[in-house]
Structure 1
Amino acid sequence: MSQTVHATHSEGMAFDITVGGHTLTADSLADFGGQDRGPTPKSFLLAGLAGCTGMDVTAILGKMQMPYDSFSLQIDAESADTHPHVYTKVHITYKFSGEDLDAAKIEKAIGLSLNKYCPVAATMKHTAEITYSLEINQS
């Protein structure tokens, strides 16, 4: 499976990036010559991980017929102190609320996402330790 991404320099450090018919802006922080008009390219990695594992878990729980009222996740990451400042630690907090939530099913879905299905996690595991926690709010 191949994919093409186009990036066009717009101004300063910013690039307009087109992928799959969607346009995104990547920029640098002001401290590094940018205008903070969009996430940094490195931040897009974490956003990609959030979307990837979130979609996986949603699909897997749907197949398990396990409904929930809400699902969100938060990613906290640490980078190496030296160039190229790769992510070295990534922690994902999965947050669910609903009635009769089955923690074992949610844990299984998360495990399948992080260890089998999510290509972003598979890519990031080469440099980062990826851990997670689960918060369940039974309503």
Structure 2
Amino acid sequence: MAKHEIKVSWKDKLAFEAEVDGHKIMLDATEAVGGENKGPRPKPLMLAALAGCTGIDVVSILKKMRVEMEDFNVVVEGDLTDEHPKQYYKMNVIYEFKGKDLPLEKLKKAVSLSEERYCGVSALYRKAIELTSEIKIID
């Protein structure tokens, strides 16, 4: 079994630096709670992890299907609880495709394969929260 390890180092006040695959990411809190806004908050990175994971899958699958897009975005909306510990209880993934004569069935197939078979982030999140998705084609 593979194992990943991330070390996060405290820098000052509420700022931490993470090194992920050789890339440094600064994490921080807002000024309102004592941070200096030097980087994103940790929870929204959970949304980015899901968007990146499924996005990579979908692009890879569509390339194999020989589907050519002009542009592609993944938007993830996360709904947080009101009480502490504040946590996501629902995420909605919006797949935004742009291009001419895009084959909807192939787009649906690629999204389905990512969500149900390949994206480890969505597989983990699905165990804990409600995950929904939608496909939008922008002409």
Which category describes the TM-score, using the shorter chain as reference length? over 0.9
Q: How many residues align?
A: 138
The answer (yes or no) to whether the contact 1:86–1:127 under 8 Å persists in 2 is no
1:42 to partner: Cα distance: 0.8
Give the corresponding residue for 2:136.
135
1:29 to partner: Cα distance: 1.7
CA RMSD in angstroms, aligned pairs only: 1.2
Q: Percent identity?
A: 36
CA distance in 1, matches of 2:40, 2:64: 33
CA distance in 1, matches of 2:42, 2:58: 25
Give the corresponding residue for 1:23.
24
With the length of structure 2 as denominator, give the TM-score of the two structures: 0.93
The answer (yes or no) to whether the contact 1:9–1:15 under 8 Å persists in 2 is yes
CA distance in 1, matches of 2:85, 2:119: 24
| Other structure's SS at 1:125 match | helix
Matched, 1:114 2:129: no
1:5 to partner: Cα distance: 1.0
Gaps of 5+ in 1: none
1:127 to partner: Cα distance: 2.4
With the length of structure 1 as denominator, give the TM-score of the two structures: 0.93
Q: Deviations over 1:21-50 (max 9, x none)?
A: 110011112222211111111111111111
Gaps of 5+ in 2: none
